[in-house]
Amino acid sequence: MADELKEEVLERLSIAKEKLESAQLLLDNQRYANSVSKAYYAMYHAARAVLFIKNVDPHKHSGVVKMFGLHYVQPAIVEKKYSKALSYIKELRERCDYESNPEVDADECEKVLQDAKEFVKRTGEIVKLEFR
CATH of region 3-130, choose from 1.10.8.870, 3.40.630.30, 1.20.120.330, 3.20.20.100: 1.20.120.330
| Half-sphere exposure in the Cβ direction for 17 (13 Å, CA) | 10
Per the CB < 8 A criterion, the answer to whether 126 and 78 are in contact is yes
Distance separating the N- and C-terminal Cα atoms of the chain: 11
* Residue 111 to residues 21, 36, 75, 82, 117, Cα–Cα distance (Å): 15, 10, 27, 13, 10
pLDDT at res. 1: 53
> Does the global pTM surpass 0.85?
yes
Q: What is the pLDDT of residues 60-75, one digit of tens each?
A: 999 999 999 999 999 9
Domain map (residue ranges) of the chain:
3-130
- For the four alpha carbons of 114, 87, 50 and 75, in that order, the dihedral sign comes to positive
Q: What is the pLDDT of residues 29-66, one digit of tens each?
A: 999 999 999 999 999 999 999 999 999 999 999 999 99
